[in-house]
Structure 1
Amino acid sequence: MSRTRWGAAILAGALSIGLSVAVSPAQAHDYGSGVRTVGYYTQWSIYDRNIPIKYLVDNGSAAKLTHLNYAFSFLDEQGKCVSSDAWADYQRPFPAEQAVNGKADEAGQALMGNLNQIKQLKAKFPKLRAYISIGGWTGSKYFSNAALTPQSRAAHVKSCIDMWLKGDLPGAPAGAAKGVFDGVDLDWEWPSTDGAPGNVVRPEDKQNFTKLLFEYRLQLLKLGFADRKIYDLTAFLPANRGALDRGYEVDTIFKLLTFATVQGYDYHGTWEQITNQQSAIRAPEGDPTSPQDSSEIVVDAYLERGAPRSKIVLGVPYYGRGWTGVTNQNNGLFQQSTGPAPATYEPGADDYRVLKNLVGQNGFKLYRDAKAGHAWLFNGTTFWTFDDPTEIKRKAQFIRDRRLGGAMIWSLDGDTPEGELSKALASGLRR
């Protein structure tokens, strides 16, 4: 029997006995919802934001997560996994006050950096599953190369498993990061569709993405047999229906994925001149865009294409999008602007923990469309669309009412020291 036919037979059998299963209620930590709460922690959070993983413990977010995605691993030109910042990933020594276990890293220890902090976090929360997230907006340039041929797919998957799951990090002792990650999250943005400038894009990416998932399943199954555990496979998928149809064989890939996180934000942003919502549940009245975007529209698109609702994990933003030079009409909504609003880290985008402090300051007033499910700030010239605890809870209730597979957070460093958004999300998901 050929390797492909053998693999297909083994994979079919594994899937039939529950390789790709929903999270159990016991994995839902402290609020008993039985749905997934997936949070992205970004590699760069330790720099300008100065938010180590311990922040997630201190503000209560970590206790409410079922899954943690660590973003991102990049790919080299041959499509093999590489660290995009070895210092942040596994070399940076953390002082005691920033360490999850309260102990400073010591010179010469096998593993340091964010990966060691994830390891400590999992020791504190044993039911938490952690995935290495590969790609992202700036790291998807060579995914098409990785997926192109049977040989490139096998080499890509092996390199990622060796580095992130077997834990063989360059310059570190063999297996130094073994046990940190329980699976792989693929963030290819986007197959057969332009993403960041310079990305390699091919028409055959759509079929090759499915084949890449199949190769991951084969190699993860083999590793799982050796380690006597199940390794998960997830993917981040777009809200844009054009990108969805050009890049994904939806009914097939969901059979190969443990679940998928679906983009539930960036419906609008400063790449457009007209202000709008970035993450509304339903299309607001008066929205001038066509086609319209909302979480309801996106979820329905996935269901219509064969995705099982139990595997759709809807993304929620812990940040907002902003415009300035906005016409002072309709409380700033659906108005012309002159460009992105000034912000802390990049023009036109800022964390919720920053935006919440604008309320009542410099003329900013809070507005809300309860029917559509979105909120915004406006002071006569600057407009911010964002989710506060009220809207996050409303969105969680939508996820619960639609019987979806859970919520995904981009990204955990946007929440307040009190964990206001994560508390609201947990409250809304509670049955």
Structure 2
Amino acid sequence: MRRSMLGRLAVAACSLSLLTAFAPAGGDGGGASGGPGSGTSYKKVGYFTQWGVYGRDFQVRDLEANGSAGKLTHINYAFGNVSADGRCFTGNVPGEADAWADYARPLDAADSVDGVADTVDQPLAGNFNQLRELKAKHPGLKVLISLGGWSWSTHFSDAALTPASRKAFVASCIDLYIKGDLPQDGTRGGAGAAAGVFDGIDLDWEWPGSAGDTDTTYRPEDKRNFTALVKEFRTQLDAYARSQKRRTKYELTAFVPTAPAKIDAGFDVRRIMRDLDFVNLQGYDFHVSGEPRTAQQSALYARGDFSVHGTVEAWKRRGAPAHKLVVGMPFYGQGWTGVSGGGDGMGQPAAGPAPATWAAGYEDYKALKKLAESGAYQVHRDRRGGHAWLFDGTTLWTYDDPWVLRAKADYVREHRLGGAMFWSLDADTADGELMTAVDRGLRGS
């Protein structure tokens, strides 16, 4: 994947005709002092990608170096996979699991959060150990394992199919990630090796009841089974917390879609929200670079189109409490090249995805910022719609810059929502520019 993102809303874009008209820019009242409490109580959830430690060379330590660690409330580790027999698993299986990155890879002192090199005989190394060290520096920070994603939701439907399969699936995830019972990999792993690293589980099933990646199974009964799966996770997590005399419960969250058709196909909103601590709303990939025309990918408001406001309202209308809705915000852009038709480039025919660093049509914010500063591209902002794009006459990138993210943070406060989520932390600048913009916005400073 990028492992989760490239296909995410090519599917949703096909459902545009099902979308109801959304309100134009403006608030529903609530005031800037709204929200779940003081500015520090908002959720600030960042996804850390397992594979980012390779090509991007983005280590857990970089969250400390760029100041993000002190601003985040949650890190979602992307991703954990589900096996064909309906269990959480890890190992060294190309394209399916990477135990080397997770807990076997030794880090030297320069790449370590605590400045101490890993030794050959310690049972936990890799990203998991670095997350443990980061939590030691920031005791309020929580780390969740995110299960699934676009490419690894393949077997979710089978795992959730029956009471017995759900029970076994949940137990395997708790054993692996909450109890920390890792497979032995030389001197790494073993019973309890990762205990205390994870504070909960994030369900990123894309999508119950409707199509996701090409090999992902889905069924009409997924909606009912997802509700039961959420209940099973809540039950087992709470029982384990009690058995450990844990003072705080293990958190349970989910990543959920924008398209009303996908919400209705897979999510019994009122019931799942009883057991979920909060949900991370898809706030990006409203349009993607595989489409034949350029379009906004993450607008705050867009009448008759996908938007952040439309997503929030869709979930609220179905019974989701506002304070449990965390707005997803992109730290990347979607891009097209061969754009024709003139003007500012938005809404025009395009030849295909724009060339980029890691995947065609997908670029990190830190690279897009350089394009914006190069003088070759003009920065466009729709201040009413709350989105931005770059255009040089041929290539267009739709993305969120600090101005857009500040507007979205203000929206979260005004509408008394739960906070903000970011995909993904490795795409920010070396000084954490985007993270800082959202943090200041949520604080009202």
Fold match (TM-score > 0.5): yes
Cα shift at 1:78? 1.2
Native 8 Å contact 2:293 2:347 kept in 1:
yes
User: Contact 2:380–2:390 at 8 Å: present in 1 too?
Assistant: yes
Q: 2:148 aligns with which of 135, 143, 146?
A: 135
CA–CA distance in 2 between the matches of 1:305 and 1:173? 44
1:52 aligned to 59, 80, 89, which one?
Answer: 59
Query: How far off is 1:79 after superposition?
Result: 1.2
Asked if 1 retains the 8 angstrom alpha-carbon contact of 2:36 and 2:416, the reply is no
Report 1:119-268 matches (<5 A). 119-171=132-184, 172-229=189-246, 230-268=249-287
Residue 180 of structure 2 aligns to a residue whose secondary structure is coil
Match of 1:102 in 2: 115
User: How far is 1:270 from its partner?
Assistant: 1.5
- Tell me the residue number matched to 2:351: 338
Letter of the 1:189 partner, please give it: E
- TM-score when normalising by structure 1: 0.91
**Residue type at the aligned position of 1:361:** S
SS of corresponding position for 1:74: strand
Aligned length: 398
Shift of 1:363: 2.1
Whether contact under 8 Å (2:341, 2:349) holds in the other structure is: no
Aligned to 2:391: 378
Partner letter of residue 238 of structure 1?
A: P
- Hey, what's the Cα distance between the residues in 2 that align with 1:247 and 1:341? 33
1:98 and 1:126 map into 2 onto residues whose CA distance is 21
Query: Which stretch shifts more, 324-333 or 235-244?
Result: 324-333
Cα shift readout 1:355-376 (whole Å, capped 9, x = no counterpart) = 1000143721111111110010
Match of 1:42 among 38, 49, 52: 49
Match of 2:431 in 1: 418
Q: TM-score, normalised by structure 2?
A: 0.88
Q: Give the match's secondary structure for 2:132.
A: helix
Select the residue among 52, 74, 78 that pairs with 2:81. Answer: 74
Alpha-carbon distance between aligned partners in 2 of 1:135 and 1:41, rounded to the nearest angstrom: 14
Give the match for residue 361 of structure 1.
374
Deviations 1:288-318 (A, max 9, x none): xxx5111011100001000000000010000
Other-structure match for 1:393: 406
2:365: which partner in 1?
352
The yes-or-no answer on 1:33 pairing with 2:40 is yes
> Shift in Å at residue 227 of structure 1?
1.5
Residue in 2 aligned with 1:85?
A: 98
2:339–2:393: 8 Å Cα contact kept in structure 1? yes
Distance 1:271 1:205 in 2: 28
Q: 1:238-293, CA deviations, whole angstroms, 9 ceiling, x for partnerless residues?
A: 01111111010011101110111010011011131110111110016xxxxxx511
Residue in structure 1 matching 2:320, options 307, 313, 331:
307
Q: Does the CA-based 8 Å contact 1:134-1:188 persist in structure 2?
A: yes
Q: Secondary structure at the match of 2:40?
A: coil
- Aligned counterparts of 1:386 and 1:166: Cα–Cα separation in 2: 39
Task: Tell me the SS of whatever aligns to 2:46.
Answer: strand
Task: Check if 1:277 corresponds to 2:290.
Answer: no
Select between 359-368 and 258-267 the one with higher mean Cα deviation.
359-368
Give the match's secondary structure for 1:316: strand
Unaligned segments of structure 2, at least 5 residues? 1-34, 91-96
SS in 1 for 2:333: strand
Q: Paired residue for 1:65?
A: 72
AA matched with 2:81: F
How far is the alpha carbon of 1:108 from its aligned partner?
1.1
Within 2, Cα distance between the matches of 1:159 and 1:283?
42
Shift of residue 24, structure 1, vs aligned partner? 8.2
User: Highest relative contact order (Cα 8 Å, sep 6+), 1 or 2?
Assistant: 2
* Cα pair 2:36 2:417 within 8 Å, conserved: no
Bigger shift: residues 321-330 or 202-211: 321-330
Identity of aligned residues (%): 50
| TM-align CA RMSD | 1.3
Return the alpha-carbon distance in structure 1 between the equivalents of residues 373 and 106 of structure 2: 40
Q: Partners of 1:142 and 1:68 in 2: how far apart? A: 24
